[in-house]
Amino acid sequence: QCVLTGQWVNDLGSNMTIGALNGKGEFTGSSHTAVTATTNEIQLSPLQGSQHRINQKSQPTFGFTVNWRFSDSITVFTGQCFVDEDGKEVLKTMWLLRSRVDNIKDDWKATR
């Protein structure tokens, strides 16, 4: 069974901590990215999310939001927790990062 709770590190050296799920499948935690486009000092940033809880599947789907404390942006992640052939827990995710822009004409370049 794959469990989200704990510490995770990605291939680029970013890390996050996910706290225990509550009865609704919600969780909080923190994220520290190793990759950024800003010159600001990277800071530990809060995350909050939820895990899909129907039937208590062993490789659950989930989603969470990180509100970056060092930049004017937010990233949403969605993914699934897997146990690979070696028994290692792995998170596979996709993300969208939204940066603030000064006006609606620049909306096209605000999401990556």
Does any domain span residue 57? Answer: yes
pLDDT at position 91 is: 95
Does any domain span residue 48? Answer: yes
pLDDT at position 34 is: 81
Q: Are 75 and 65 in contact (CB under 8 A)?
A: yes
Q: Are 95 and 108 in contact (CB under 8 A)?
A: no
Structurally, the chain folds into a number of domains equal to: 1
Model pTM above 0.75? yes
Cα separation of 81 and 97, whole Å?
21
pLDDT at position 57 is: 62
**C-beta contacts of 83-88 below 8 A and 24+ residues apart:** 83/1, 83/2, 83/58, 83/59
Does any domain span residue 1? Answer: no
pLDDT at position 54 is: 65
Does any domain span residue 30? Answer: yes
Does any domain span residue 91? Answer: yes
Show the low-confidence residues of the chain (pLDDT under 50).
none
Does any domain span residue 33? Answer: yes
Range of the domain at 70: 6-109
pLDDT at position 33 is: 86
CATH number at residue 84: 2.40.128.30
The DSSP output letter for 42 is: P
